[in-house]
Amino acid sequence: MTETGSGSPLDQHEHWESTLSGHPDMYGLEPSDAAVAAACRFREVEASSLLELGAGQGRDTFYFVGRGFDVTATDFADTGLEAIKTRAADRGLVLRCVSHDVRERLPFPDGSFDACFSHMLFCMALSTAELESLASEVRRVLRPGGLVAYTARTTADAHYGAGVYRGDGMYESGGFVVHYFGPGLVERLSDGFEIIDRFEFSEGELPRRLISVTMRRL
Ligand SMILES: C[S@@+](CC[C@H](N)C(=O)[O-])C[C@H]1O[C@@H](n2cnc3c(N)ncnc32)[C@H](O)[C@@H]1O
């Protein structure tokens, strides 16, 4: 049954810190299918510098590093970033980790990346206005012609509608707030980009239902 929540939609920072701290391999060690597909796309445009938003514990980060990308991994959960740094040091790998909340301006100069990847970050506790700002920031830090590949859970997901409604397409369940992408949201986030690919796919045991979007900066 759906309840209607009150109060602010939630600072999820502490929740993610403790969740990632308590579950060292929350999403496993293998790369996501989304990352594997994105790496192929990025290679086609000879991308080298890659910004990853919402890197979690780095299952995709290390895949990109292994494929030769120059990776900058960001997340607002320092516990996740510390796990990435430890694993990188153990393996003698080089990458940058930057602690950052995507509700704030990205801490990088204009045009500083060839590509941006983000798996299941856009469907976090971000209002539509915050998502529009984030898309605009991604556009700013990409070079002209640069690619962004992001994924988000959709209203086709089995969890959509379950838990406490937090407004603006967001539901809270088990302490996690998810913004389920419905019709039209992908287009709203494409200002200044050309959408070059989009498809729906499933991941995990639920399974989560997601949309994958790849856009080129105009
Ligand atoms: C569903 S997890 C996905 C993690 C990783 N991309 C993966 O697939 O393994 C979402 C990640 O986004 C991060 N996150 C959530 N809200 C954020 C925000 N406002 N700014 C930065 N990171 C955020 C969480 O800490 C978490 O690591």
In percent, the amount of the chain with pLDDT more than 70 equals: 95
Average pLDDT in the chain? 94
State pTM to two decimals: 0.96
pLDDT digits (tens, 9 = 90+) for 155-171: 999 999 999 999 999 99
Mean pLDDT of 28-55: 97
- Is the distance from the beta carbon of residue 79 to the nearest atom of ligand 1 less than 6 Å? no
Mean pLDDT of 46-66: 98
Using CA positions, which residue lies closest to atom 10 of ligand 1? 121
Could you give the domains of the chain? 2-217 (3.40.50.150)
- Is the distance from the beta carbon of residue 15 to the nearest atom of ligand 1 less than 6 Å? no
Residues 6+ apart with CB under 8 A from 4: 164, 165
- Is the distance from the beta carbon of residue 16 to the nearest atom of ligand 1 less than 6 Å? yes
Residue of 8, 10, 16 best suited for mutating to test ligand 1, as the one with most atoms within 8 Å of CB: 16
Q: How high is the pLDDT of residue 11?
A: 81
Mean pLDDT of 50-79: 98
Cis geometry, peptide bond prior to residue 31 (ω within 30 degrees of 0): no
Q: Residue 40 Cα, ligand 1 centroid: separation in angstroms?
A: 23
In terms of Cβ atoms closer than 10 Å to its own Cβ (0-12, 13-18, 19+), residue 15 is middle
- Determine the Cα–Cα distance for residues 8 and 69; give it in Å rounded to an integer: 38
